Structure 1
Amino acid sequence: MSRADAVGVDAWRAHAEASVLLDGFHALKHALRFGARVPVALATSRAAAIALAEELAPDVRDALDGLLVEVPEASLRALVPRLHPTGVAALAVRPDRAANLAAIARLPRTAPVIVLDNPRNLGNAGAVIRLAAGFGATGVVMTGSLDPWHPTVVRGGAGLHFATAVERLTVDELPPGPVYALDPEGEDIRGTALPDDALLAFGSERSGLSPELRARADHLVSLPMRAQVSSYNLATSVGMTLFHWSTCGTPGAPEGRPAA
């Protein structure tokens, strides 16, 4: 390993414990686009990563050029749980919790907050964050024991945790706003206009809404579903609900967001 390689590995080890793992080129790309502070970024091939940026994300090409340190593949594999096919990994500073909570609680809102009530699947949670970022949701709040900043969740969210406010709270700590909870016994969502300041709440994949969240709900709504079909995937439910909101309210997604 060259001296430059060793410096990159040493920097990683110095920041790893307190940082968010950005697993792969696309997670790093999105984090940079949305203002993440990235103290270290490693690649098995700088040239390949820069070429990928020139093809898919020219807006972050220069930033990547200034950040990326090339290290041997074996060295990077030793630092991450599972090397991404793009051969890129980085560490980012987690956003300030107080700032996230303030953003989630601020009224009036231009877009809902997504509430995942005791989610169990890390990949599903990441996919929800990706959806929320795409629709410009104000934030994603999770109750229960799942860490919304777990590396698998961040991987599933493709680094888009930095495009919205992501935090874990109890039901009692939820921000203000009317709670529209998805439940099979609720009224058909197609007859309901979802307001911009809503909390859109979704139960766990296995057991649905907790008694605490159900008691907090102002409205129970349901998604249209064919008889004898048990349920939708959590991310699918969130996507359908956000699309319905976007057609009956004023979408809050910023204009000019890169598509790649």
Structure 2
Amino acid sequence: MLITSRRNPLVNRLRYLHEAEGRRIHGLILLEGTHLFQEVLRLGLVPTEIIATPKWLKHNNDLTKTFSSVRLVTLDVLRAIATTKNPDGILTVLPIVQLPIVPRTPNFLLVLDRLQDPGNMGTLMRTALAAGVDSLWLRGGVDPLHPKVLRASAGAALSLPLERFSSTVELLQQIKNLSWMQRIATRVQEKYTSQTIKPYWQLDWSKPTALFLGNEGSGLDPFLESICTDGVTIPHSYLVDSLNVGVAAAPLLLERFRQRLTYVKNNL
């Protein structure tokens, strides 16, 4: 049956998943778009609901042939549910319990402190997955399961184990259990003239590592920065004060990958 009314209970029920409370109460996340649905299939995850327009289903019937039912809605109804102005025709509802479990002994950890921008969060998730990060730890900030973040991550959020902490104290307690890891903060050399700050490529990233990145405006919490064992900088033109956190993360995270490839190449 085709749902044509924006007043259908389905609309409000799924829109509730835009909110952290709705996701927590129902234990579900809302995925928007064909790419995220394809990621669900690739990872072997099992959605509880698939909502699509007749036009989308007609052109993508091969993607849904293993599912017994698809809720059909008009494009107008789909727009009423989605966070995007122009959804491409499909929404997927996925149980949160199917997301990956955080490893107890990570070897490469990314810690994000109070990030606020959904685009930055999604970009960092994608970069972290590409760099081989074992787990993502979050202190406050934007909800990593918000539809906008999930969409910006291009599916990386479905593969990257993550854990959220409500306070600095809670996070610090967990970090104390990772004494074997070097803890890295990004710093501006001019602000730490009494300390030796290395260009990021001079650090040995092959060691067990936790990389800390701070809020877009205020940077890393001083308490978190104080427990870092090393500081690195990304040299750049003086015409720019600082780099966007999503941009800065890329060379840092991928440097570990580069060093490992170089080691393998030199030891063949």
Contact 1:129-1:157 at 8 Å conserved across structures = yes
More deviation in 19-28 or 172-181?
172-181
Q: 1:95 to 1:68 in 2, by over 3 A?
A: same
Q: How does 1:132-143 map to 2 (within 5 A)?
A: 132-143=128-139
Assess, with a 3 A threshold, how the Cα gap between structure 1 residues 95 and 198 changes in structure 2: closer, same or farther. farther
- Correspondent of 2:43 among 34, 41, 46: 34
- Structure 2 residue 159 is matched with structure 1 residue 149: no
Partners of 1:247 and 1:34 in 2: how far apart? 27
Q: Do residues 188 (structure 1) and 199 (structure 2) align?
A: yes
Equivalents in 1 of 2:12, 2:43: separation in Å? Answer: 22
CA displacement, residues 55-102 of structure 1 (integer Å, 9 cap, x when unaligned) = xxxxxx3567656433211222222233554221111111368x733x
Contact 1:179–1:200 (CA under 8 A) maintained in structure 2: yes
Of residues 60, 66, 70, the one that matches 1:50 is 60
| 63 and 242 in structure 1: CA distance in 2 versus 1, 3 angstrom threshold | farther
Give the corresponding residue for 2:88: 86
Residue 178 (structure 1) aligned with residue 182 (structure 2): yes
Distance 1:236 1:12, change over 3 A: same
SS where residue 78 of structure 1 aligns? helix
Partners of 1:211 and 1:140 lie apart in 2 by 20
In structure 1, list runs of 5 or more residues that go unmatched. Answer: 55-60, 252-260
RMSD of Structure 2 on Structure 1 (CA): 3.2
Match of 1:199 among 190, 210, 213: 210
Q: Alignment partner of 1:134: what SS?
A: helix
Percent identity between matched residues is 22
* Aligned pair partner of 1:25 in 4, 15, 34: 34
What is the alpha-carbon distance in structure 1 between the residues aligned to residue 203 and residue 57 of structure 2? 51
The counterpart of 1:216, out of the listed 227, 237, 241, is 227
Tell me how far 1:199 sits from its aligned partner.
0.8
Cα pair 1:27 1:159 within 8 Å, conserved: yes
Q: How far has the Cα of 1:48 moved from its partner? A: 5.3
Deviations 1:201-253 (A, max 9, x none): 111111111111101211111112122311222111111112211111369xx
Structure 1 residues 161, 63: closer, same or farther in 2, change over 3 A? farther
Cα distance 1:191–1:3, how it changes in 2: closer, same or farther (>3 A)? closer
Q: TM-score, normalised by structure 1?
A: 0.77
- Note closer, same or farther for the CA distance 1:9–1:133 as it changes in structure 2 (3 Å cut): farther
Equivalent pairs counted in the alignment come to 236
Deviation, structure 1 residue 179: 1.0
Q: Normalising by the residue count of structure 2, what TM-score does the alignment of the two structures yield?
A: 0.75
Cα displacement (A) at 1:21: 1.2
Any idea what SS the aligned residue of 2:60 has? helix
Question: Counterpart of 2:101?
Answer: 100
Counterpart of 1:30, as a letter, is E
